[in-house]
Amino acid sequence: MRRLATSDRDFAAAFAALLGEARASAETLRAPVAEIIAAVRARGDDALGEFTARFDGFTPGAPPLRVSDAEISAARESLAPELTAALDLAANRIAAFHQKQIPADIIETEASGLRLGLRWTPLDAVGIYVPGGKASYPSSVLMNAIPARIAGVTRIAMCVPAPGGALSPLVLAAAARAGVTEIWRIGGAQAIAALAYGTARIAPVDRIVGPGNAYVAEAKRQVQGDVGIDSIAGPSEVVVVADAANDPRHVAIDLLAQAEHDEAAQAILITDDAGFAERVIAAVAAELPTLPRAAIAGASWRDHGAVIVVADWAEVAALVDRLAPEHLELMLAEPAALFARIRHAGAAFLGRFCPEALGDYIAGPNHVLPTSRSARFASGLSVYDFLKRTTWIAADDATPLADLGPAAIALAEAEGLGAHARSLALRLPRANSD
């Protein structure tokens, strides 16, 4: 991991190198992913079967690509009561938070009688991709599907990799709880292609959401435009801002909680105390061997982790904004003042007792968040991702045109669009009286 200090003479260059670090490259994947997409478009279900046999190690049919209602019911019944209760609590809290996001339509009537409005309507069908390679993520199912259901989407198709054909019962139970209407044992770029373009068995969707590996991210990049997507997710990341009043072990485990996602994940500590920074580094080394995913977390911390020691807390907001992290923890006694000065973060966790994992599972706000510094211009998944806006204008008679028409005609003529101008002029009250 890197050690940086704002007091170092070469800090600007070192920090720029950290920002410019390539943790995931799609360049080498562009051609193979394009071939997979082309094969699915050309040969549909046959291509899906071949890719599933090659990448997931089973031949569709035994088990089938589509998960049956009986299998879903069996999965739900197999869960321990405490897991079912936890799933219900998470689902209820996620639903409650996202329910508050539903926007209101706009209707305005002007003095002339012209009416203006904006109408929100749900998408017809969405596809959600749920990772299933290195771990299973029932929480991702809830976070992707529940906002779609609340928005009013009637068809929610889920694709999830199934190594050897097996799926986590908890993932299936989460899908049923979240309102998923169909589940497919398909992963990788081939799943994105099937959702985007459809096959004989799988109808295409209007938008694809959910994180995945580099192949999934590149596939979403290539189908974007033919179908909507939420974002092109990169490796996960966290910036932890912590002072020396914290327990170093708490900070260390929060850094590792992000690092254990993937070898390319990034965990960064910002603090004003060099001694505390070293204590956290030592705590990371002590915690690592105890983790089930120690090899993954260790590679992430070694290759992409960083500790930044600032000379003054006033420097922190600008550094965070340049990093624009997916997750931001402000482990301070009074984090609100610093948070008010920070503009760019996918999600923020305020206080010493608010670890990012709380947001991953149970708090309510969505955990599908912008990565790779895209929090500068993007936001986390929400109900808005499953809605579209339609504006409308209504005029029951020529009165509004008498007021607005001449200005519109002048602009149309200035643009050289005669038919535009005439379509307005013919409806003006004076034209009708001639």
How many Å apart are CA 362 and CA 94, to the nearest integer?
A: 7
* Interval 218-245 mean pLDDT: 95
Distances (CA, A) of 168 to 78, 132, 163, 252, 392: 11, 9, 10, 30, 46
User: The pTM is what?
Assistant: 0.93
Q: What is the pLDDT of residue 135?
A: 64
Domains and CATH numbers, the chain: 2-24+234-363 (3.40.50.1980), 29-100+112-230 (3.40.50.1980), 398-433 (no CATH)
133-142, 175-184, 229-238, 344-353, range with the lowest pLDDT = 133-142
How many Å apart are CA 332 and CA 242, to the nearest integer?
A: 6
Runs of H (alpha helix) within 236-367:
248-259, 274-287, 294-304, 316-323, 336-341, 356-361
How many Å apart are CA 146 and CA 19, to the nearest integer?
A: 34
Q: What is the pLDDT of residue 25?
A: 64
How many Å apart are CA 258 and CA 256, to the nearest integer?
A: 5
Q: What is the pLDDT of residues 145-203, one digit of tens each?
A: 999 999 999 999 999 999 999 999 999 999 999 999 999 999 999 999 999 999 999 99
Q: Is the pLDDT of residue 399 over 70?
A: yes
Q: What is the pLDDT of residue 234?
A: 85
Could you list the active site residues?
326-327
Q: What is the pLDDT of residues 135-146, one digit of tens each?
A: 678 999 999 999
Q: What is the pLDDT of residue 61?
A: 82
- Mean pLDDT over each residue of the chain, to the nearest integer: 95
* Contact call for residues 241 and 332 (beta carbons, < 8 A): yes
Q: Is the pLDDT of residue 432 over 80?
A: no
